[in-house]
Amino acid sequence: MGRFVAAIQLVAVGALVAGLGIGAGESAIGKEGAKGASGKEVKAIKALLVTGGCCHDYKTQTKILTEGISARVKVNWTVVHEGGTNRNHKVSIYQDAKWAEKYDVVVHNECFGGVKDVKLVERIAAGHKAGVGGVVLHCSAHSYRGAKTDEWRKTVGVSSYRHERHRAVEVKNLKADHPIMKGFGTSWKTPAGELYVIQKLWPGAVPLGSAYGKDTKKDHVCIWTNRYGKGKVFGTTIGHHNETMKTKVYLDMVARGLLWACGKLGKDGEAKAGYGVRRK
């Protein structure tokens, strides 16, 4: 399949977001303005979004994520979208050992569960282990699950190989005092859902949210943070359906997760000075 790589700086975000009906409301994450606490100009966060693969509407989700997060965070995006619907596709950017070095954070929204190339998978993991922040969304946690190495699972912070049947889930906030979970509320009912069955939490993982699985009759962590080497990773298995991803609760949470992963989120749950965008 063809490869699509785009470097984009989103402008006029309010109009773009309104057009998609994304995250309606007046909430802002962080303090408005381009200057940091020192009064110096703050450079936008350099974010890479890697997306594509099986089973999801990645074209629409790319728009939801880039525009929704840019409505909340000062960020410049590079988007690598390739592989079509092929779960066995090897993303070309991962062929370079230095693939992640020029970014502050990498957002993974990919579904390549058939890829078993150990060297490639360990190369992906190494980018985060070296210190580049990560955001792992939904099927990214199932990607590379057949490879005979645990390095991606150590990066993600959880091991999961299957999901329950499609149904909305009630997500419980397990750490209301954590900066990422500020404003989440005590619980949130997703518009639609596909709860992942979590088989293992790795030592660096900290659960932030969970949901009860009716099929397995147990709670499963669905929001968490993880430490892997020098890297900080935020993860959520929520996000199969567009109608869930475009909600205000989801985009606020992921935006805070992104800020946390690259060290730009304050203890109060707001972006550090200069990194927030206030919607009007």
CATH code of the domain in which 126 resides: 3.40.50.880
> Could you tell me if residue 205 is inside a domain?
yes
Q: Is residue 275 part of a domain?
A: no
Q: What is the pLDDT of residues 160-169, one digit of tens each?
A: 989 999 999 9
Provide the pLDDT for residue 158. 97
Residue 266 lies inside a defined structural domain of this protein: no
pLDDT at 23: 56
**Domain assignment of residue 242, given as a range:** 3-261
- Intervals of the chain under pLDDT 70: 1-39, 278-280
Note whether residue 159 is domain-resident. yes
**Does 93 map to a domain?**
yes
Which tokens in the block code for residue 54? 């099986």
Count: domains in the chain: 1
Residue 270 lies in a domain: no
Q: What is the pLDDT of residues 185-209, one digit of tens each?
A: 999 999 999 999 999 999 999 999 9
Q: What is the pLDDT of residue 45?
A: 98
Which residue from 12, 31, 101 is spatially nearest to 264, judged by alpha carbons?
A: 31
Closest Cα partner for 17 from 82, 57, 54, 69?
Answer: 69
What pLDDT was estimated at residue 161?
85
The reply to whether 237 falls in a domain is: yes
Whether 204 maps to a domain, the answer reads yes
Give the sign of the dihedral formed by CA 189, CA 195, CA 197, CA 200.
negative
